Chains A and B, each alone.
Chain A
């Protein structure tokens, strides 16, 4: 089943076109990797899918579970199952992680017409997931990402992903700033979430991450387009020869 369909997407930021007709199809259960040089538009794509303001879609379409995603508010997209693990997670002082998780989870549930999760069930779930991600309980009492190390911030993203159970997870450079151990823990967390109904789009610069999260399909982005797609061996090829060969194709 098709989960996400990006068709000929054109996007402008401040009068400048960044994505020039990007097409991408993601089916349920698939893991996609998107690679590409700095500035090729990877984060832009993830932001537009999530609905971040400031981007002007001048052409094309995004369908999610058959619905026109671009017609939905960003919070509606979240409630419908779009999750973006940010390249740079922000800090929210004074709002404990625990409170944030609960507020967000209940907002999503409400939007879907579900009841709020009972506190004991919620706590149990948070405890389980945070344990598997090696997140100490007292971190959850601190302000969201406040004083967290780079690795902790990324793990916090995976924690939220596990808790909200989205159907599409976009991970923007989850591996940046992680040491080998942290990378493995985070990747294990992501793998644990892999299911036949859930798809992952993993944005990365390094083939190393793909040793842990093994993609079904690898896309190469260059200058605002997907210029090549292939199996996981494409990532190895890139690692060996770089992006130069695709520059012309773009």
Chain B
């Protein structure tokens, strides 16, 4: 069934002025004192019962961070962040140890329910059989590591994953249970000194997911995490580390929505991916942080460092992202193509509306021989937003036979928004073949009228045309996310025309 119709139907049901996901869950929280100091770092580490080496690692990052300054090269504009005016740790108070979903705070479950996202997961977790004809019984399973604020509340499907030898757990647990793996890989892709936000994250990260797929194992299910920011003024510092050992495969889904806020909220996540020989990681994101109100107030600041290291030969890392939220997005999921014949992919849909500012793109660093990369970026700017694609493709001297194909398309809706393409290309050897294509177009009045003459409303017409524009990228998403993504795309363009 064409999912576009579903989108169209969904859009009709939406209340335009209301950010649907803007509500708070009233849960007592357990906060670190406001502000950032060595004591904050120690507090977080102690809360997590971390071993000494971890605290040491954090403190080094913190000291490093003190010497750094915020980057200003991105095309985003925001008031200076007072890092002493934020909370760096907040967790729902655990009432007891949780073994099953029933034991999770019903408030939290209700929050997820309102989001409309995890119903299928909830059903699955509770072993509910799909009603005949209602759902596809063959659909793949999804394991959910639900991150509520800063603490993973439920980790499921552990048993089945364990059978396959896959480790999937909150990183805070992995630090205690698999210190050798964490020590070996943490910071090996994004070093603690990498950039201002990554360094900050290294000092104060609260939690996130850890995945290890052993050699030769194809992870038996999609792994999925939903993030929520729920505590006023809480910095959110997720840390994710995924390792695919030789010949293994894993697909990881990440999605999020955030409640409405007056103050801006800082989100600075770090995601590190490592693939060994012949391994593959597919990482998909649907991002829908609160973008701010119609005057551009509030909204999430999303400063993310995501990087994959194709460490082994013939390995592959693929990033797919649908970015619709955030007041500010600063995000460049990248691939280091170290192994010979390794491949990196970046498929992106970045939508900005209202006063949103998006500066996103990717880096493909070709180091190994015959490495290849592919970048498909679709930027859609509406309202008064600014949408920038920033991409870097480099080939090292030894990266003979490196190949890249880049296609950047921008679509403008209305005339108060802007789309910008900033490609950097550096080939240090002559055998590299880099191709770059870029287009910018305006959504045409004639196209809209054509659709409307055939019976679609203005908003349905925009939804249809935009979904057509991003089709190449949507196809890259796992089915579970494609429909949600389409829905989000239409929602996020509401009120962008007329």
Contact = CB atoms under 8 A, between A and B. Distances in A.
B452 A75 contact: yes
B365 to A, nearest CB: 31
A137 interface: no
Contacts of B457: 73, 75, 107
A182 to B, nearest CB: 21
Interface residues of B, number: 28
B446 A107 contact: no
Contacts of A51: 452-453
Interface string A163-197: 01000000000000000000000000000000000
Contacts of A74: 449, 452-453
B447 A92 contact: yes
A195 to B, nearest CB: 20
Given A90-B444, A100-B464, A95 B452 contact: no
Interface stretch (B2-10, B220-228, B479-487): B2-10
B203 to A, nearest CB: 44
Contact of B464 (A78, A83, A90, A95): A95
A228 interface: no
A130 interface: no
A149 interface: no
Contacts of A38: none
Contacts of A108: 454-455
A164 B453 CA distance: 11
B460 A99 contact: no
A96 B465 CA distance: 11
Nearest to A82: B453
Contact of B469 (A52, A91, A93, A119): A93
A52 B451 contact: no
Residue from A95, A111, A119 whose CB has the most chain B CB atoms within 10 Å: A95
A53 B4 contact: no
B468 A93 contact: yes
A219 B14 CA distance: 47
B4 A75 contact: no
A29 B2 CA distance: 36
Given A53-B445, A107-B460, A119-B1, A164 B471 contact: no
Contacts of A107: 8, 454-457, 460
Given A94-B472, A98-B2, A107-B457, 18 more contacts: A51-B452, A52-B453, A73-B457, A86-B450, A88-B446, A90-B444, A93-B469, A94-B470, A95-B464, A95-B468, A99-B2, A99-B5, A102-B5, A103-B8, A104-B456, A105-B455, A107-B456, A160-B454
18 contacts: A51-B452, A51-B453, A53-B449, A78-B455, A84-B453, A88-B446, A92-B451, A93-B469, A95-B465, A98-B2, A99-B2, A100-B464, A102-B2, A103-B8, A107-B455, A107-B456, A107-B460, A119-B1
